[in-house]
Amino acid sequence: MAQKPNQRGATRESVKPTQHSWSKSSSFSLGKYLRLHQTTLTESFLRLLTYPLASIMTVMVVAIALSLPGGLYVVLKNVQSVTDQWEQQSVITLYLFPTLEDTQALALSHRISAQDDVASVEYISKEEGLRYFEQSSGYEQILSSLPENPLPIVLRVIPKGAVEIDTLPKLQALRDQLANQNEVEHAELDAQWLQRLANILSFGQRFVYGLSVLLVVAVFLIVGNTIRMAVESRRDEVLVMKLVGATDAYIRRPFLYMGFWFGILGGFLASLCILGLSWWVSVPAERLIELYQSGFQLQTFNADEIVLSLLVSAFVGVTGAWIAVSRHIASIELQ
């Protein structure tokens, strides 16, 4: 070889096996470990940029899959906040026994209105009830043909506080308590609309949760499949790394970071999509709110939820990559 003479010196230094200076670099240190991770983090990101189209497509699929449950979550959040602000009073109607005297009924009325959880009690005597019934039902003739007034004394109990879904059990408890009074023949809580709404909301919630689970699984599969193909396309590299003594963990690491990037970029894009959609619907929504003159404000993704969705998507990305990569790398064996 032509340049041999001036290479000798370098050789003696660099190849002498007895020096064992390599043993120092193969010992564990935290700094080395962190540096390795930092390098892998940036390198795996740069690698995504070498296949920009494929990377962008994967990120977008992840983003769309994540923005669906995210968007539904925002819708649900808004519906909930609308119902929270519906300050509608509910009424418990007590039908007393027809045999009851006015004095007894009045005493009961006073007793109930003294309760902490009751705002007011409206006393409707038999006569008032009859008058009201005649006015509203159109059954005057039938009613007047009856020998006596068949209607009982009625107490309309207005509970304290606004009606919300959370307070529904409390109202039901109050109704039960009032129904147990000796004078009361029948008690009715006029909150059917609230119960219906609660059911619709819990249906919506389950629907969103179920759909979220499905779509998160889809993200697992998307990331997993992309990573599996990335491993396959770098098969030669994996083989050479195994040959020169790379641990499986070392080989796995860049792919896990790749999954991390797919996840977190997908999550970021999904958050942007949701914010964009919220902004898009905000104009007609605000007009609608104005019409109803309600104090309601359109809810969108807040900072906490964005951070949470980024964390979740990054986690899903890494886990998807892990599942795909672990078995695949072990299966690539030197021949």
Partner 1 sequence: MDIKFQRVGKKYESGQEALSQVSFHLQQGEMAFLTGHSGAGKSTLMKLMMMIERQTSGQILVDGVDLRTLSRRAIPQHRRRVGVVFQNHQLLFDRSIFHNVALPLQVGGADPQQIAKRVRAALDKVGLLDKEKQNPMALSGGEQQRVGIARAVVNKPQLLLADEPTGNLDPKLSAEIMNLFQEFNRVGVTVLIASHDLALVARMRHRVLTLNQGRMVNDGGFG
Tell me if 21 contacts partner 1 by CB under 8 A. yes
Q: Helices 303-331 and 248-292 sit at what angle, rounded to 10 degrees? A: 150
In the chain, the N- to C-terminal Cα span, in Å, equals: 33
Q: Which is nearer to partner 1, 18 or 145 (CB)?
A: 18
Q: Which is nearer to partner 1, 22 or 292 (CB)?
A: 22
Q: Which is nearer to partner 1, 26 or 141 (CB)?
A: 26
Whether residue 197 contacts residue 83, with contact meaning beta carbons closer than 8 Å, is answered with yes
State the Cα–Cα distance between residues 333 and 167, nearest whole angstrom: 63
Output the smallest distance, CB 259 to partner 1, in A. Answer: 20
Sole window of 17-25, 62-70, 106-114, 258-266 interacting with partner 1 (rule: CB under 8 A): 17-25
The binder of partner 1 chosen from 91, 241, 272, 281 (CB under 8 A): 241
Output the smallest distance, CB 330 to partner 1, in A. Answer: 9
Q: Which is nearer to partner 1, 27 or 180 (CB)?
A: 27
Quote the Cα angle for 133-139-142, to 5°.
Answer: 115
Tell me if 5 contacts partner 1 by CB under 8 A. no
Output the smallest distance, CB 267 to partner 1, in A. Answer: 29
Output the smallest distance, CB 228 to partner 1, in A. Answer: 19
The binder of partner 1 chosen from 143, 168, 239, 281 (CB under 8 A): 239
Count residues near partner 1 (CB under 8 A): 39
Residue type, 280: W
State the Cα–Cα distance between residues 322 and 229, nearest whole angstrom: 13
123 Rama class: left (phi>0) / alpha (psi -120 to 50) / beta? beta
CB neighbours of residue 325 within 10 Å: 24
Whether residue 260 contacts residue 59, with contact meaning beta carbons closer than 8 Å, is answered with no
Tell me if 334 contacts partner 1 by CB under 8 A. yes
Binding to partner 1 by CB under 8 A, coded x per residue (else -) over 242-281, reads: xxxxxx--x-------------------------------
Whether residue 167 contacts residue 161, with contact meaning beta carbons closer than 8 Å, is answered with yes
Residue whose pair of structure tokens reads 């109202």 in the numeric block = 171
Tell me if 292 contacts partner 1 by CB under 8 A. no
Q: Which is nearer to partner 1, 2 or 303 (CB)?
A: 2
Tell me if 35 contacts partner 1 by CB under 8 A. yes
State the Cα–Cα distance between residues 186 and 199, nearest whole angstrom: 25
Backbone angles phi, psi at 295, to 5 degrees: -85, 10
Least Cα distance to 296 among 306, 307, 285, 305 occurs for 285
Output the smallest distance, CB 318 to partner 1, in A. Answer: 21
Reported as type and span, the H/E element at residue 48 is helix 30-50
Tell me if 52 contacts partner 1 by CB under 8 A. no
State the Cα–Cα distance between residues 215 and 200, nearest whole angstrom: 22
Tell me if 203 contacts partner 1 by CB under 8 A. no
Q: Which is nearer to partner 1, 18 or 141 (CB)?
A: 18
Q: Which is nearer to partner 1, 32 or 186 (CB)?
A: 32
Strand order in the sheet with 184-189: 118-124, 154-159, 92-96, 184-189
Q: Which is nearer to partner 1, 236 or 290 (CB)?
A: 236
Output the smallest distance, CB 241 to partner 1, in A. Answer: 6
Write out the residues near partner 1 by the rule CB under 8 A: 1-4, 7-8, 10-19, 21-22, 25-26, 32-33, 35-36, 236-237, 239-247, 250, 333-335
